[in-house]
Structure formats: C-alpha cells, structure tokens
Amino acid sequence: MDKYLDCTGEPCPLPLIKTEKEMNKLKIGDKLFIELDHTCSMTNIPEWARKKNYEVETEEVDFGEWQITITKTN
C-alpha cells in the first residue's frame, strides 16, 4: 500500500529518519510520497534512497516545498 508522509516544517534529520522507518514497513512495489520544505532533507533523502537502489522522483510543488516519490524496488 502506498503511503503519504507530511514532513513540512520539520528540520533535518527528522524527515530522513521517518522515511527510513516508513520504507522498512512498505512492501516491494509500494510508493512513499514525502512532502517537505527543508532543503537539507531535499539532498539527504534522494541520496539515501538512491544508495538503497530505490526509484526516486523529486518535484518542486511550490516555493521551497518539494514532493519526493520513492518506489521500493528491492
């Protein structure tokens, strides 16, 4: 099941800690949508997810607000 994570207003490293926890719960093929507004996490999370060989997509949805989509592939 896909999961939505709202991390707006949360500073580094909270978004990545939450992402890590959620990704562990997901099954292969599931997607995690993360909404965030902290620039550090915007570099942190995609880097971490790519290292894990997950599929990552990022989009700036508003000024200083991004949505990251991670697909669990393994």
Partner 1 sequence: MKRQEFRQKSNWQLIFALIIIIFSIYIYLYLNNSVEINLATSWAFGLIVGFILQRSRICFTAALRDPFLFGLTKLSRALILSTIIITIGFAYIQYQQQLGGLPIEGKFVPLGWHIPIGAFIFGLGAAVSGGCASGTLIRLGEGYKLQWIVIVGFIAGSVHGSYDASFWYQLIRSQKSTHLPQLLGWGNALALQIIFLLLLYLLSYWWEKHKF
Question: Footprint of partner 1 on this chain (CB under 8 A)?
Answer: 9, 11-13, 16-17, 20, 37-40, 43-44, 47-48, 51-52, 61-64
| Smallest gap from residue 37 Cβ to partner 1 (A) | 8
- Is the Cβ of residue 1 or residue 11 nearer to partner 1 in the bound state? 11
Contacts of 15 (CB under 8 A, 6+ apart): 5, 7, 34, 36, 38, 41, 44, 45
| Smallest gap from residue 43 Cβ to partner 1 (A) | 5
